[in-house]
Each structure stands twice: as structure tokens, then as C-alpha cells.
Amino acid sequence: MKFTRCYFSLTRGRAAAVDYVAWSVKPVLLKDASAFVGASVICLLFGLLINAQAQVSLFYDLPGNLVSQIPESTGPPVILRQPVMQVVSAGHNGSFAVVVADTTSVTYQWRFNGADLLGATADALLLTSVSAASQGNYSVVVANPSGSVTSSPAMLYWDSVGDGLPDSWKIKYFGSVTNVTTSGDATGDGVSNLQKFYEGTNPTNGAGLNPRLIVDGLNGYVRVSPDLDKFSLDQTVTLLAVPSPGFNFVGWSGDLEGANNPVTVTMTKTKRVTAVFGLPLDYSLNTTNVVWRSGGDVPWLGQNYVTYDGAAAAQSGPIGTNEQSWLEATVFVPSVATVNFWWKMASFTASLTVSVNGAPQSRTLSRSSDWQRAGFYLVPGYNVIRWTYAQHTFYFDPGFSAAWVDQVSFTAYPDEYIDTDFDGLPDLWELTQL
């Protein structure tokens, strides 16, 4: 038995997203001399095929000796990776590099603003003692016997402060090197100066801005489509709120309001959006035959973190300053009645008020208070009871604040003067004084 081999190799390199790997062809097993001819043709065809991409082909005879090497340079050099822009501060070196597909017989000549740099003839360029005068375009001319190609120019920016933002960029947009910070955001669009520099957008008027989208969900998650790190200005994005088992989607909070789901958002700026999910309100509030509604800037939600009864309670929606969140029950009572419930508040900047059939009640809850019982008078027939949680303007960050309601009950009194504890005060009156 005889065998022949055809080996192909390819310079290993890395393009933007693709690793070139070495090619190899397993030995071709031959039974007789005629098959060897066929195998040679196969090897040659493989060689031509791979040569078209690799520009390197090595041919071996039967014992494995190298018999021919097709000239590597069938064309000018191919640049796999271009030099990359960099920002260099005092005391640091600058460096640029180029990666070429086939380095055989290749020469390099680096240029600064189009002029050859003396002695800069390697595939990498190291710049020591960088100063303001070093700022400019760097490129490299790569040549082989077949021709030459010039890399795309890469900027070296001078950064005297060492914060990563070039002096020239700061001066161009802000007229100052010292009064600009990397985290600054003069246009208030949620994208920092550093991000704007790298994205080539204008930090003073937002032109070309790439807004971000930060989404969050409690007891569920948000599916974003397309799900990108950054968006183009005014790009539309679809958000789908997906609740955890047992929870309902209540509404959106933050830079998005309402309860449409899915919902389309236009990225006019960087946005923070929270999807609010809750337990069912009748379950949380221990009621049956009551129609619950909720709304405002963000609706109330059922939850099981802060409760009076240890099971679940309703919590005001996560709202901002000068916003409100309301909870409303419609109930039918055949006679005079009371509505009773427990309520609680954790806030320095909000109030929880109650209205019955549109009439504001004097008893309210403000600032922080632990669970208390409250009661209000209802007339025969339909009654609408509304709890309104409102955040007011204050000169400090209120942090977390919310109100809770639990264990809502209704008691009807066919005899409104009944006095079950015989203290001379009707039950109806006593329950509304809680």
C-alpha cells in the first residue's frame, strides 16, 4: 500500500470577528499507482482552492518531501486588522499595530499625518514620550513584491488630564480642558461624555445620540426587541412585560407610563423603565364581590413583602415626585354601612387620602406610620371608595416610599343605631371613628 499527502497551511490571523485556522488535509490512502494520479489532481485542486484564500501552498511528494511552493504573493498584502484609535495621557506610550494575512516578504512603513516615520518599519509602532505634538493620524503602508496597501488611518489623541477624554475633544465642544468630566452629560440624555466621544456624537446638542434603555421588573421580567446595548436616536423598541407565575402585569413605571403590553417606545433619550407586576388585588385585599380598579401615574399592586395579615396587601405604585397612584373599589351595600381596612405608610414626602363617592375624607395618613385600622361611612347603594397616594415636591431625594392597604371589609347595618357593646354609642358611629 502507498499513500501520499497533501498539506496546506494558512497563516493564522484574526479578522474583526473571524479566526482563521490552519487548514490540513488527512493523508489520502492509495491502493495503486493509478490512484496516485487521481490523488495528485485532488491535491492540486485543493491547493488551488485554498491558495485563492491563503496565498500559501506547500506540495509534497510520496515520501513527504517538499517539492514545490507556490509563490505566496499572488496579490498585494491583505490587512486583517487595522490600527485602532487611542487616547494617550502623559507618561504613557502609544502603540499601533497591523495584522496582515500573509507576512512573507512583507515590509512596513508607518506614517504620521501622511509622512513616513523614520525607522518605523515593523508591524507594530511604539510611541514613547507622547506629547500634545503626537496627536494625529497614524497609518502604515504594507508592501510585498506584488504591490502595496495603506491601512486606514488611526487617531492618537492627547489627553493631558489622563481621564480618557482627549483635550482636543473637550476644547472643541466645551472650550475647556478642565471643566469637562467623563461622566458629564450636558444634554441630560443619559449618555456620558466618554460614551459620546467614542460614539462620535455631539455632547452639546445630542446630534447622533445613541440612547440606552435600562429595564427592570419586580416579580417578572421585560423582553426587549431589538435587545441592543445602545440605540440610534428615535429608534423604536418593543417591550413585553412577562409576569412570574401567580402575578399580573400592573403597569409601567419610570420613563414609560400606562399599562399597554406589549408597548412600543421611541428612544428619544436614554430611558429607565420598570415593569410592575402584582398579585391580584381582591386576593391581596381579602375581598369578594368588589370591583377593584387602579391607576394614576403607576397603579397599585398586590404584593407579599409588607402585609398586615401575613399573606398579601396592596401597595401604592412606585411613582416619582408630583405623581400619584390611586386604588378604587366599587361596592354595593343594601343599607348604611362602613368600610374598614388597615393602612400603613413609609414616607416623608407623600400622603394617603381617601374619598368616598368623590368626597374627600378628613382622616388621612401622612409620613411614616405603622399599621392602623380605619373606617369610613357608606350610604345605601353603590359606593366608590378611592385611596390616593401622592408624592409631593421636596428638596431632597425621598428614597423609597410607599403606602399599603390590607384587609378591606364592608359591614352593612340594617339598624343603624345597633349598639352591640351597650356603651350608648352605635356600632356604625364607632367603626367610622377608627
Which residues contact Ca ion (rule: CB under 5 A)? 286, 309, 311-312, 406, 419, 421, 423, 425
Determine the residue type at 94. Answer: G
Half-sphere exposure (Cβ direction) of 321: Cα atoms closer than 13 Å: 8
Read off φ and ψ for residue 172, nearest 5 degrees.
-60, -45
Dist. CA 226–CA 1, nearest whole Å: 60
DSSP letters of 377-431? EE-SEEEEEEEEEEE---SS---S-EEEEEEEEEEE-SSTT--TT-SSS-HHHHH
DSSP designation for 19 = B
Q: Are 149 and 141 in contact (CB under 8 A)?
A: yes
Nearer to Ca ion, 265 or 365 (CB): 365
Which residue, 268 or 286, has its beta carbon nearer to Ca ion? 286
Q: Which is nearer to Ca ion, 158 or 404 (CB)?
A: 404
**Which is nearer to Ca ion, 163 or 419 (by Cβ)?**
419
CA atoms of 296 and 306, how far apart (whole Å): 21
Could you tell me the smallest distance in angstroms from the CB atom of residue 432 to Ca ion? 12
Q: Looking at beta carbons only, is 32 or 421 nearer to Ca ion?
A: 421
For residue 330, the minimal CB distance to Ca ion (Å) is: 19
Give me the least distance between CB of 339 and Ca ion, in Å please: 15
- Rounded Cα distance between 318 and 315, Å, is 9
Taking the complex as a whole, the smallest distance from the CB of residue 308 to Ca ion amounts, in Å, to 7
CA nearest to 408, candidates 331, 334, 348, 336: 331
Shortest distance, CB of residue 288 to Ca ion, whole angstroms?
Answer: 13
CA gyration radius, the chain: 37
| CB of 405 vs Ca ion, minimal distance in Å | 9
Q: Based on CB atoms, which residue is closest to Ca ion, 257 or 416?
A: 416
Q: How far is the CB of 236 from Ca ion (least distance, A)?
A: 40
Nearer to Ca ion, 159 or 406 (CB): 406
Asked if residue 398 has a cis previous peptide bond (ω within 30° of 0), the answer is: no
Q: Are the C-beta atoms of 167 and 158 separated by less than 8 Å?
A: yes
DSSP string, 169-236: HHHHHHS-SSS--TT--TT-SS--HHHHHHHT--TTT-TT----EEEEEESEEEEEES--SS--TT-E
Residue with cell 349598639: 419
Tell me how far, at minimum, the Cβ of 430 lies from Ca ion, in Å. Answer: 5
Give the nearer residue to Ca ion in terms of CB position, either 265 or 285.
Answer: 285
* CA distances in angstroms from 420 to 113, 424, 426, listed in the order given: 97, 9, 8
Contact 201, 210 (CB under 8 A): yes
Smallest distance from Ca ion to CB 421, Å: 4
Contacts of residue 162, Cβ cutoff 8 Å, sequence gap at least 6? 89, 90
d(Cα 199, Cα 193) in Å, to the nearest integer? Answer: 10
CA distance 274 to 143: 56
Least distance to Ca ion from the beta carbon of 375, Å? 13
29 vs 311, which CB is nearer to Ca ion?
311
C-alpha span between 152 and 136 (Å, rounded) = 13
Nearer to Ca ion, 304 or 364 (CB): 304
In angstroms, give the least distance from the CB of 309 to Ca ion.
4
Nearer to Ca ion, 180 or 314 (CB): 314
Which strand (E) or helix (H) includes residue 121?
A: none
Stated as kind and residue range, the H or E segment containing 12 is: none
